A and B are shown apart, each in its own frame.
Chain A
Amino acid sequence: MDAVFLAFVLMLSIFLGFELISKVPATLHTPLMSGANAISGITLVGALTSAGAGSDLVATWLGAVAVAFATVNVVGGYLVTNRMLSMFKKKEAPGRVGGGS
């Protein structure tokens, strides 16, 4: 894939990101941040490729450490976001325990 094509993808995603995120209400800014953080753990995909290539020992090690850190980001990020979001409840109807969604 050539650089220009990747730059196109970059440009469109940034604009899309701005459109999406500006609609998130202030109440959800903390979960937005931790959720976005989990998404930035996508580096995991790159780390897997390095860790599993089996070509060079140093590259394998660098990749494996990257896999560990990126997994912390992904797993921790999604779980803590879910934990936070489940706390946001509408005013409860009497006698009903509010669920997540």
Chain B
Amino acid sequence: MSLSIELINVFYIVAAALFIYGLKGLGSPATAVRGNLLSAIGMFIAVVVTLFSKGIVEFEWIMVAVLVGALIGAVAAQMVAMTKMPEMVALFNGSGGLASLLVGWAALYNSGNTTFTHITILLSILIGGVTFSGSLIAWGKLAEVITSRAIVFAAQRFVNALILIAIVGCGVMFGLEPSLTSPYLYGVIALSLLFGVMVVIPIGGADMPVVISLLNSYSGLAACAAGFAINNNILIVAGSLVGAAGMILTNIMCKAMNRSLANVLFSGFGAVKTASKVEGEVKPIVAEDAFLILEAASSVTFVPGYGMAVAQAQHVVRELGELLEANGTEVTYAIHPVAGRMPGHMNVLLAEANVPYDQLVEMDDINPRIANVDVAVVIGANDVVNPAARHDENSPIYGMPIINVDYARTVFVLKRSMAAGFSGVDNPLFFGDNTRMLFGDAKTSISSVIAEFKR
């Protein structure tokens, strides 16, 4: 049995509507699970009706490939730790990119391709290839398989420009004389993969939220280009929805760092300016005293950063939060948009530790009332609470919006260690009059405060 093109397209419209409804559901945590389910149903419909199209006559390889892919996907989704989500999303982006590259390539074998089709095929190979190799590099940086620092060298932009020109050149040569084994085709594929590597290596670890969002957007655009290559509406609709999602997230991340996208992409973070070092004396505090202050506080805000994920401290943080609440304290968790290694990373970690989502507040919600917060507890965050962003024009993060914890009545900063007494650091928060440093591993420090509570 096979369905007509018209009927298949009717089902594609249903699938597109379900994707749109699904994304709409993500507008609130209460409807998000259902939204994701609707989107999955849409995908299921699109895939099943495609299998009934009359163009598909062989099923053996499809069966094998679907089984292998589904198994890998399902196992990965179940096994991955929430702290490793950025790596996981990077790999998924890459796998989507590679799929688009291959679909574009295979579309060359269709009969009756016009010049326009050839252009879109090359685009889907280019975007797919960049997404694939770029995502692998991003994964390597996140997993620290390769250095997470920015890799910059002289004439980098010049080299990148040359690669881009070479890609266009190969593309034009291919377009003039399209053939399935044209050396220019292989040239475009190889250069696209190289270009993906080159654009991601100069980006440092702290800028990863931007790169992940951008690659997410590319994986959608690659699907979109593949849709043009094979004349398929649903690929274009779904691909551009994803492309738009990635672009919005990229934009939010850039705004949260007060940097332009060009600045993130073309200059290694920290390579630009060095902040003026501030000097002062840090005031350490021990767990017992921290407990006394927390116990007397009527409002406490936790400000987590990537360090919380590294120390795996989210569960003890939630436990402390619950003890404080039982003690009559108002507890919130203030999350900076770029805290962590991908957008919303901290929120997921805290949700996993059973922190109710109504206690998670955004930077713009907490800042106006931060002066009324008795204790702000900074856990593994640095740049996103660094007051130098407000007043030190030499700081590389000058102008970046921060969570103004230094305006809270008391600030606890949990930090692994620090040279005692006077030393130069680039975060003046550590020397603030109202700042107390709780030294040690974040998880151990919080556990000892919890122990005091339970005494």
Interface centre among A31, A46, A82, A87 (most CB of B within 10 A): A46
- Closest A residue to B347 by CB, please name it: A27
Q: Does B371 contact A (CB under 8 A)?
A: no
Number of residues in A with C-beta < 8 Å to the partner?
A: 84
- CB-CB < 8 A to A84: which residues of B? 82, 85, 348, 351-352
* Cross-chain contact of B69 among A17, A49, A70 (Cβ < 8 A): A70
User: Are B357 and A38 closer than 8 Å at their CB atoms?
Assistant: no
Report how far A90 CA is from B418 CA in the complex, Å: 38
A45-B50 in contact given A27-B347, A60-B61 (Cβ < 8 Å): yes
A75-B223 in contact given A41-B43, A49-B55 (Cβ < 8 Å): no
Report how far A24 CA is from B22 CA in the complex, Å: 12
* Cross-chain contact of A86 among B33, B99, B107, B239 (Cβ < 8 A): B33
- Interface stretch, picked from B196-204, B338-346, B372-380, B437-445, is B338-346
Q: Does B311 contact A (CB under 8 A)?
A: no
A69-B69 in contact given A27-B29, A45-B232 (Cβ < 8 Å): yes
- Closest B residue to A81 by CB, please name it: B36
Q: Does B356 contact A (CB under 8 A)?
A: yes
> Shortest CB–CB separation between residue A83 and chain B, in angstroms?
6
Q: Does B24 contact A (CB under 8 A)?
A: yes
* Cross-chain contact of B344 among A16, A30, A50 (Cβ < 8 A): A30
Q: Does B337 contact A (CB under 8 A)?
A: yes
* Cross-chain contact of A40 among B96, B107, B344, B357 (Cβ < 8 A): B96
What's the dominant secondary structure at chain A's contact region? helix
- Closest A residue to B61 by CB, please name it: A64
- Interface stretch, picked from B245-253, B394-402, B422-430, is B245-253
Number of residues in B with C-beta < 8 Å to the partner?
A: 114
- Interface stretch, picked from B86-94, B145-153, B383-391, is B86-94
Q: Does B27 contact A (CB under 8 A)?
A: yes
User: Are B47 and A73 closer than 8 Å at their CB atoms?
Assistant: no
For window 34-85 of A, CB contacts with B under 8 Å fall at 34-56, 58-85
- CB-CB < 8 A to A88: which residues of B? 29, 32, 351, 357
> Shortest CB–CB separation between residue A22 and chain B, in angstroms?
6
User: Are B47 and A69 closer than 8 Å at their CB atoms?
Assistant: no
User: Are A43 and B222 closer than 8 Å at their CB atoms?
Assistant: yes
User: Are B73 and A74 closer than 8 Å at their CB atoms?
Assistant: yes
Q: Does A95 contact B (CB under 8 A)?
A: no
Report how far A68 CA is from B62 CA in the complex, Å: 8
User: Are A52 and B59 closer than 8 Å at their CB atoms?
Assistant: yes
A30-B342 in contact given A43-B96, A67-B62, A83-B78 (Cβ < 8 Å): yes
* Cross-chain contact of B99 among A14, A36, A43, A78 (Cβ < 8 A): A43
- Closest A residue to B46 by CB, please name it: A45
User: Are A62 and B105 closer than 8 Å at their CB atoms?
Assistant: yes
User: Are A51 and B26 closer than 8 Å at their CB atoms?
Assistant: no
Report how far A20 CA is from B25 CA in the complex, Å: 9
User: Are A76 and B74 closer than 8 Å at their CB atoms?
Assistant: yes
- CB-CB < 8 A to B226: which residues of A? 43, 46
- Interface stretch, picked from B167-175, B211-219, B275-283, is B211-219
- CB-CB < 8 A to A22: which residues of B? 248
B68-110 to A contact mask, C-beta < 8 Å, 1/0: 1110111011101010010011001101101110110111010
- Closest A residue to B221 by CB, please name it: A40
* Cross-chain contact of A35 among B36, B88, B96, B360 (Cβ < 8 A): B36
Q: Does B40 contact A (CB under 8 A)?
A: yes
- CB-CB < 8 A to B74: which residues of A? 75-76, 79
- CB-CB < 8 A to A55: which residues of B? 109
A36-B34 in contact given A6-B227, A77-B73, A88-B29 (Cβ < 8 Å): no
User: Are A40 and B220 closer than 8 Å at their CB atoms?
Assistant: yes
* Cross-chain contact of B234 among A33, A45, A72 (Cβ < 8 A): A45
- CB-CB < 8 A to B107: which residues of A? 46, 50
- CB-CB < 8 A to B20: which residues of A? 16, 20
User: Are B239 and A76 closer than 8 Å at their CB atoms?
Assistant: no
For window 104-119 of B, CB contacts with A under 8 Å fall at 105-107, 109, 116
User: Are A30 and B85 closer than 8 Å at their CB atoms?
Assistant: yes
A38-B43, A75-B70 known, 15 other contacts, Cβ within 8 Å: A13-B236, A13-B240, A17-B245, A27-B29, A35-B36, A36-B220, A47-B99, A51-B106, A52-B61, A53-B56, A54-B57, A70-B99, A72-B92, A73-B95, A101-B34
| Residues of A participating in the B interface, judged by any CB pair closer than 8 Å | 1, 3, 6, 9-10, 13-14, 16-18, 20-56, 58-92, 100-101
7 A-B pairs within 8 Å (CB atoms) are namely A17-B242, A21-B244, A32-B343, A34-B92, A36-B23, A46-B227, A50-B230
| Residues of B participating in the A interface, judged by any CB pair closer than 8 Å | 19-20, 22-24, 26-37, 39-40, 43, 46-47, 50-51, 53, 55-59, 61-62, 64-66, 68-70, 72-74, 76-78, 80, 82, 85, 88-89, 92-93, 95-96, 98-100, 102-103, 105-107, 109, 116, 180, 212-213, 216, 219-220, 222-224, 226-249, 252, 335, 337, 342-345, 347-348, 351-352, 354, 356-360, 362
The 3 closest A-B pairs by CB, nearest first: A17-B244, A71-B69, A29-B344
